[in-house]
Structure 1
Amino acid sequence: MKVWTVANQKGGVGKTTTTVSLGGLLAQAGKRVLMVDTDPHASLSYYFGIDAEALSHSVYDIFIQSPDISADKVMDCLCPTKLDNLYVLPATMALATLDRTMGSEQGMGLVLKKALAKVEHEFDVVIIDCPPVLGVLMVNALAACHKVIVPTQTEYLALKGLDRMIRTMEIMGRSLQKSFDTVIIPTMFDKRTNAALASRERLMTDYGERVWTGVVPVDTHFRDASLVQLPISVAYPKTRGVTAYAKLLEVLEK
């Protein structure tokens, strides 16, 4: 089972879009995919019409029942989507309390990794959608993953957020004694603007081989797909956004 974490310490850069788009393509290819929503705002959950506040189980259960949660209880927390093989472990606003109530407890940084290990035979790929805040949730997501995908909007302020994210991973890497396989994804790219062109050039200069050579373009079909609660590859398969994420997936799966 592969575990990919989609993270950036800046909001609005395309983390949830990236999670949904990759998850949809993988599921369509016959992979068993679990998307984990660790953001208290629950954008990934709501994308698929899941109101975690109305559910009896969510990813919050994983944390409050740790370390005793069983594989069956993890599976009980999952919600299906309209697409076969694609599941969501939904978020809830209660996640926002974890740093205050459990953040200092021993072993809290490995809760998600241990829970996912109990269902590793149920899924081929897990994609974790992170909140844009460094805390126990992002620490768990980074500790659990084999690869970090960092969507970065091609504009100046987003590049500042990327700088913080890279520093965070360096600090965490030393703490966890692991190096992160990192892929930086230029998103919301508009080739008509000088700002986007300059931002992409700076990405390539500053981060070199860690930057995917392609781009995810601005595409209004991403928003349209969310209205029908489907990945863009299902709702609008012949669009620029789908082509971009299909090419990215080829790189990620190598």
Structure 2
Amino acid sequence: MTSPASSSDREKVVSKLPAWLRQALKIRAAQHGIEIQTAVEQGISDWCSLASATANVDTSGADSFSTFLPPGQWEQFREIATDRRVSLIQGLAQSVQLWLDSNPTPDVARPDVTRRIIVCNQKGGVGKTAITAGLGEALAEDANTLHPVRVAKALTKALRASETYGDETEPDESPLDIENLPGPGLRILLVDFDPQCHLTNQLGGTPLPMNGDSLTNHMAGDPKGNLRDLIISVDEEHFGDRLHLLPACNDAFLLDVRLSAVRAREAALERALAPLETDYDVIIVDCPPSLGLSMDAAAYYGRRREGEKTGQSGALIVVQAEDSSADAYDLLTTQIDDLRGDLQVDIDYLGIVVNLYDSRRGYIATSSLQGWVDIKDPRVVGLIGDLKEQKEAVRVKQPLLSYAPKSQQAVGMRALAREVL
């Protein structure tokens, strides 16, 4: 968003607007990436340029509204409102409505090619599932609603805040910059590719039965139906049917064995999911803690396709601020680099997410975090604290961003989503 002008550049004016119009102005200005005061200035300027007042706006229940305008604009507005025999409140409401009409809600920016994000690390317990779910939820949030987002650009700022204020700091108490922004409004498919079915269970789904159809069957070339029929919608009330889940089945424990008999097995996941891609803007795959054939298939699915820009699809690596994550990271990147060389494909790293961070664990946590930050390529794109809201959301089997939308973890997930975008 554009930087607000200082009060020395503008003069403060106070009037009234109805709550519904203030909210519409706030959301639309955020959608267009401009300050509210700039939108009001444009609206008043356009209204003053009209030959006459526009249609009356319902101003019942109007309450105090203040903004900053260029010197002299408000006086000019008052004079024109008087000439038109329109109250200041009605004239301001008409000006705001005129700006809203002239600046309609922008279309959701959709990718030309369905983006494929592979959330991975062969080490279990780092929270890949929580990151998969949180990222998907953040990308699917309503584009016509404002949500609190952490907009601090420097990770060192986040680290400094965590060390100073602790990990229980609420968003409105934190020195990190919080801004209310519209949701991306994207159509998201979460793929539970882990036979342990954690993503399925956490989001309130039911693992697929062993004797039915599954992603494993489609990858092994033995489908029993249409993969679309297995997909379920997640919390439609909050996400408006933009967030879907392909549940897991325990038969994925046998996937590596079944893939060993499949031709071009590295492309098995792509063959299975390709028919679904036209329905979604982003497909996010929650990978198992494995370095087997299934991980090869996932990494290959995230490769950069012909005509796709660098960094649109690829691997998002989840780690913790401790030593064992570093060992697992080396194993994973070695596997991906080997796959790159063997198959002559480009697999991009989308970044590192440091999850379950708690500076109160002392030097090991803070020094490990600094070690991740120092890598630079891939860079750290997210820092998510080890807080109670995520555990509570899992317990009640609800998405974090609908269970605790203003929590520090939710704010961080939205920041991650915008870094990935």
TM-score, normalising length from structure 2? 0.56
Which amino acid in 2 is paired with 1:48? L
Which amino acid in 2 is paired with 1:194? Y
- The secondary structure found in structure 2 opposite 1:188 is strand
Q: Deviations over 1:232-253 (max 9, x none)?
A: 1111011111111111111110
Q: Distance in 1 between matches of 2:277 and 2:254?
A: 28
Q: Deviations over 1:30-84 (max 9, x none)?
A: 2111111111111111112323244833212322336xx69x8121121222232
User: Which position in structure 2 is the counterpart of 1:76?
Assistant: 229
Q: Distance in 2 between matches of 1:214 and 1:47?
A: 21
2:216 aligned residue (60, 66, 76): 60
User: Which position in structure 2 is the counterpart of 1:40?
Assistant: 195
User: Which position in structure 2 is the counterpart of 1:190?
Assistant: 358
- The secondary structure found in structure 2 opposite 1:158 is helix
Q: Distance in 1 between matches of 2:198 and 2:336?
A: 24
Shift of 1:104: 4.2
Q: Deviations over 1:188-229 (max 9, x none)?
A: 111222111111112233x22312254111111111111232
Q: Distance in 2 between matches of 1:121 and 1:214?
A: 28
Q: Distance in 1 between matches of 2:384 and 2:368?
A: 13
Determine if the alignment matches structure 1 residue 165 to structure 2 residue 278: no
2:287 aligned residue (108, 127, 130): 130
Q: Distance in 1 between matches of 2:342 and 2:227?
A: 27
Q: Report the more deviating stretch, 148-157 or 105-114.
A: 105-114
**Is there any run of 5+ residues in structure 1 with no aligned partner, and where?**
none
* Aligned residues of 1:58 and 1:78 also touching (Cα < 8 A): no
Determine if the alignment matches structure 1 residue 203 to structure 2 residue 372: yes
* Aligned residues of 1:19 and 1:128 also touching (Cα < 8 A): yes
**Is there any run of 5+ residues in structure 2 with no aligned partner, and where?**
1-113, 142-182, 303-312
* Aligned residues of 1:37 and 1:59 also touching (Cα < 8 A): no
User: Which position in structure 2 is the counterpart of 1:105?
Assistant: 262
Larger radius of gyration: 2
Q: Distance in 1 between matches of 2:265 and 2:419?
A: 32
User: Which position in structure 1 is the counterpart of 2:420?
Assistant: 252
Q: Deviations over 1:81-117 (max 9, x none)?
A: 2232211111111111122233243212111112222
* Aligned residues of 2:187 and 2:280 also touching (Cα < 8 A): yes
Q: Deviations over 1:161-187 (max 9, x none)?
A: 111111111111112322322111111
Q: Distance in 1 between matches of 2:209 and 2:333?
A: 36
- Runs (4+) off by over 4 Å: none
Matched residue count: 249
The share of aligned pairs that are identical, in percent, is 27
Which amino acid in 2 is paired with 1:34? L
Q: Report the more deviating stretch, 57-66 or 79-88.
A: 57-66
TM-score, normalising length from structure 1? 0.91
Which amino acid in 1 is paired with 2:280? F
Q: RMSD value over aligned CA atoms?
A: 1.9
Determine if the alignment matches structure 1 residue 229 to structure 2 residue 397: yes
Q: Distance in 2 between matches of 1:61 and 1:214?
A: 34
